[in-house]
Structure 1
Amino acid sequence: MIVDSLANSDKYVSLHPRFAKAFEFIKSQNLESIEVGKYPIDGAELHASVSNKDGVKAEDAKFEAHNHFIDIQVCPAGSEQIGWKPRSKCVDPKGDYNAEKDVTFFNDKPDTYFSLNAGQFAIFYPEDVHAPMIGEGPVKKLVVKVKI
């Protein structure tokens, strides 16, 4: 997992061949006014979605991991809490892996929580189980999915 400011995103473009294009997309958007919806960037291998949903309590957050995509998550405005735990320490899957949605949910609980604020991003690799959307009131979220 990586958490940093969007101002530092150039430091991470060498970590994956599609990161440069992903961060270019993010930085080209007016994050405060970006509309809810799906945004194709580079076919099925790089795409984004924006949601605006009510935040949830930490104990109700979906604790998830992906096998074939890296998430770059951005909080366009305000802040949200996110839970995290290494996948190697998660022992209680909640159902089977959903290949269509590339997600496995877990009953385990996060080891740590952090705030993701406007102007920041988090990168979650397949080994990062994460519980996003923790907060009160509406939480606006931009997620760029990067095919491994």
Structure 2
Amino acid sequence: MILDTLENSRKYHCVHPLFEKAFAYIKAQNLEAMADGKYEIDGDSIVAAVFTKPAKTAEESNEKFECHDQHIDIQVLISGEEQIGWKPRASCKQVKGEYNPEKDVSFYAEDPEMYFGMQPGQFVILFPADVHSPMIGKGDIKKMVVKVKI
């Protein structure tokens, strides 16, 4: 997991060959004015979703304590305040249901090991080893989730 501000995103271009293109797209947008919806950035290699939804309680979010096998998430907070629960996948032992290859998601019946906060202009990179429960907070949260194919 990597947590930082968009101002520092250049530091992470070397982590994955598609990160430079993904961050260039993010930084070229007027995020506050972007409409909710799905955006194709580079075929199915980089896709984004922008959405505005009511925040969840930690208990609600932890019901879908998730991780992905085929994609890395770059989650950018646009407005609101958000907390995300996190735990290393290697520490998770209780799988909840089966892996869904269509949605590239696995769920765990676990509790996060820690929670961290995000402010607008920050992003988190979540790798397949990062089990996470996002959207925890109060009020509405607007964010962009960019899926980068591994």
| TM-score interval, normalised by the smaller of the two chains | over 0.9
Normalised TM-score (structure 2):
0.97
TM-score when normalising by structure 1: 0.98
Q: Is 1:34 equivalent to 2:29 in the alignment? A: no
Deviation at 1:60, TM superposition (A): 1.0
Distance 2:33 2:114 in 1: 30
Q: How far apart are residue 103 of structure 1 and its match?
A: 0.2
Distance in 1, matches of 2:33 and 2:17, equals: 28
Aligned pairs for 1:1-148 (under 5 A) are 1-61=1-61, 62-148=64-150
Distance 1:107 1:23 in 2: 32
Identity of aligned residues (%): 56
**Contact residue 31 and residue 77 of structure 1 kept, 8 A:** no
8 A contact 2:72–2:147 mirrored in 1: yes
Shift of 1:51: 1.1
Mapped partners of 1:129, 1:30: distance in 2: 29
Q: CA RMSD in A?
A: 0.7
Conserved 8 A contact 2:80-2:139? no
> Matched residues in 1 for 2:134 and 2:98: separation?
20
Task: Output the CA distance in 1 between the equivalents of 2:140 and 2:81.
Answer: 10
Unaligned runs of 5+ in 1: none
SS of equivalent residue, structure 2 residue 53: strand
Segments of 4+ moved more than 3 angstroms = none
Q: Deviations over 1:108-129 (max 9, x none)?
A: 0100001111010000000000
Q: Secondary structure at the match of 1:110?
A: coil
Structure 1 or 2: larger strand share? 2
**How many pairs were matched up?**
148
Q: Distance in 2 between matches of 1:63 and 1:84?
A: 8
Q: Per-residue deviation at 1:137?
A: 1.6
Give the Cα–Cα distance (whole angstroms) in 2 for the partners of residues 35 and 92 of structure 1. Answer: 37
Are the equivalent residues in 1 in contact too, given 2:80–2:140 (CA < 8 A)? no
Q: How far does residue 78 in structure 1 lie from its aligned partner after superposition?
A: 2.3
Amino acid at match of 1:71: D
Q: Give structure 2 stretches of 5+ with no counterpart.
A: none
Letter in 2 for 1:122: V
Work out the CA distance in 1 between the residues paired with 2:52 and 2:6.
20
